[in-house]
Amino acid sequence: MKKLKKKDYETALEGLYPRLIDLQRSIIASGKRVAVIFEGRDAAGKGGVIKAISEPLNTRYVRTVALPKPTERESTQWYFQRYVEHLPAAGELVLFDRSWYNRAGVERVMGFCSDAQYRRFMADCPLFEKLITNDGLILLKYWLAVDQEQQEERFAERATDPLKRWKISPVDIKARERYEDYGKARDAVLKATHAKHAPWFVADFDDQKRGRLNLIEHLLLELPFRAPPDQPLKLPPLKGKPKREHLASKRFLIPENH
């Protein structure tokens, strides 16, 4: 299948914006709490799809969570503790760019956790997700799938582009040799933690643009909330003539270089 052209992608994405806005309006009006997890290999496209979803939304009610590695103090806490504080409140949509599944993914594959910690996570995770969804939180989980050839192309692009080079970490470079191990870790996670209340969905992200559109369309179908009626806002007439922005002193103005 040929990759989607940029113009076609942008047209299709803009067509989804009204539905995304309606989704947010319905979440706000109903007081729902929605968390969406995005997992996948390095360079799969997690940040891009999160940006596409949040672009048209009211930033007061949508948050992106992308946590760094645990601090020394956090590493001594209950594993799920640092994620709990980032869960949504009423009316919020929270998008996790990686999540508590780090333990069963990068930590497991790269040896950053012990076998005992991994087994404990795999046993506790379904219980944790059952607890938070029983309390009313809505949880969806997406794995972004990408073939190794496509992953390598994206790494090569990032390595040569100074605007994208920051996206590659030393761990990412080492992880390139563990492609099959990540696949085995993924399959184990899907098998152990898929549930009706916390389902997993796999999206093909070899073509990132097409993948974003398909995922957003799926997300909208999985969250079929009904937005309240939206009426055009009628502004009252302005009294007097429009005023110009006036500063008592121009010394605060930045230079106009463009």
Q: What is the pLDDT of residues 203-236, one digit of tens each?
A: 999 999 999 999 999 999 999 888 888 888 898 9
Give 162's DSSP letter. T
By the 10 Å C-beta count (0-12 exposed, 13-18 middle, 19+ buried), 21 is classed as: middle
Query: Which tokens sit at 186?
Result: 């993924």
Q: Is residue 55 part of a domain?
A: yes
pLDDT of residue 139: 98
Number of domains in the chain: 1
Q: Is residue 195 part of a domain?
A: yes
Which residues does 132 contact at the CB level (< 8 Å), separation at least 6? 87, 139
pLDDT of residue 229: 86
**What spatial distance separates the first Cα and last Cα of the chain, rounded to whole Å?**
42
pLDDT of residue 121: 98
pLDDT of residue 227: 84
Residue keyed to tokens 């497991």: 108
Range of the domain at 61: 6-252
Global pTM value: 0.93
Q: Is residue 1 part of a domain?
A: no
pLDDT of residue 224: 85
Q: Say which CATH number the domain at 109 has.
A: 3.40.50.300
Nearest to 152, CA basis, from 168, 182, 176, 178: 176
pLDDT of residue 118: 98
The segments of the chain whose pLDDT lies below 50 read none
pLDDT of residue 228: 85
Q: Is residue 148 part of a domain?
A: yes
Q: Is residue 32 part of a domain?
A: yes
pLDDT of residue 90: 98
CA distance 10 to 107: 36
Q: Is residue 174 part of a domain?
A: yes
Which residues does 23 contact at the CB level (< 8 Å), separation at least 6? 93, 220, 223, 225, 227
CA distance 130 to 206: 32
Q: What are phi and psi of 63, to 5 degrees?
A: -130, 145
Characterise 117 by phi-psi region: left (phi > 0), alpha (psi -120 to 50), beta (else): alpha
Nearest to 21, CA basis, from 234, 220, 174: 220
Q: Is residue 47 part of a domain?
A: yes
By the 10 Å C-beta count (0-12 exposed, 13-18 middle, 19+ buried), 177 is classed as: exposed
Q: Is residue 258 part of a domain?
A: no
Compute, in degrees rounded to 10, the torsion defined by CA atoms 38, 40, 42, 47. Answer: -20
CA distance 209 to 148: 18
Query: Which tokens sit at 135?
Result: 């309390």
